[in-house]
Amino acid sequence: MPKIELPSGVRLHYQRSGEGDPLVLIHGLTGNLAVWHLHIAPALRDDFDVVTYDLRGHGYSDMPPSGYSADDMAGDLRHLLDALDIERAVLVGHSFGADVALYLAHAHPERVEQVIAIEGALPAMVHERNRDDWEGWGHWVEMLERSGFEVPPERRSDVRFLLRSSLELPKKWGPLNGLPRNAAKYLRLLDETTLVDDYERVGTLTLDRLPHIDVPVVLMWTAGSTFQHTHDHLLATLPKVRSILLPETEWGHFGPLEQPEVVAAHIRSVGRR
């Protein structure tokens, strides 16, 4: 099980395979690198040098008590590139992984060939999601209740409660069904680390700095996504940006799991130099 040790002493688990230009795949919160290995990484190995890794606190990587902001995670990614002797890479991130990729592109554009951002949220857009009437809450609650879990009205916009409920379901729901994931570890991640608070920390990539990201960015969103507000803001403000709209699906936010063949084909098409 290959791991690299960061300057902080935290060890990150990673996998590397394939031939071609470097392509780094970054999963989202409470996921792991298996998100990519179910379908997407195998489909890209003939075209790219594919690197996947577990974010700190996730999968087989170490779980320190703090350091879970997008800035922290971007720093981890930079050290991973250093350790693997990758000077410059295409970054593909899903959800929080897309945020991490954009943070690295902002801080170290010389290390990033291109960003393919799939359903990012951005900490700087958290004000859009902190509203009780944000449609994403209703979508999340619906998924839980369809799985037999009743959400009390006062908890319908409580992110910590909804995350815990999703992890504690005896049967994985929706697109996460079949994803190898140790629920006990992720419950520890919620209880014993600063993950939830750090997730909303804006840090260095404020909204006014988005126009300064001088790296090509491809936005890949699912039609009808509850994170459309982030897509629209990025499309309007990033200087080198284009958008790919994925077909609408039942769950919406989980393109790499719901329609991996479509996602892989787009990555292959736009990721080549």
pLDDT band at 180 (very low <50, low <70, confident <90, very high): low
- 5 against 173, higher pLDDT: 5
Percent pLDDT > 70 in the chain is: 95
- How close are the terminal C-alpha atoms of the chain, in Å? 31
**Single-letter amino acid, residue 150:** E
Q: What's the pLDDT tens digit per position in 137-177? A: 777 888 888 888 888 988 888 888 888 888 887 655 555 65
Give residue 205's pLDDT: 98
Give residue 211's pLDDT: 98
Q: What pTM was estimated for this model as a whole?
A: 0.93
Domain annotation for the chain: domains and CATH numbers:
3-129+194-271 (3.40.50.1820)
Give residue 115's pLDDT: 98
3-state secondary structure of 52: strand
Q: What's the pLDDT tens digit per position in 181-191? A: 678 888 999 99
Give residue 108's pLDDT: 98
Closest CA to 241 of 108, 74, 50, 98: 98
Sequence-ordered list of residues with C-beta below 8 angstroms from that of 229, at least 6 positions apart, any chain: 125, 128
Element (H, E) at 246: strand 241-246
- 165 against 117, higher pLDDT: 117
Among 44-53, 143-152, 248-257, the minimum mean pLDDT is found in: 248-257
- Nearest 5°: phi and psi at 229? -60, -40
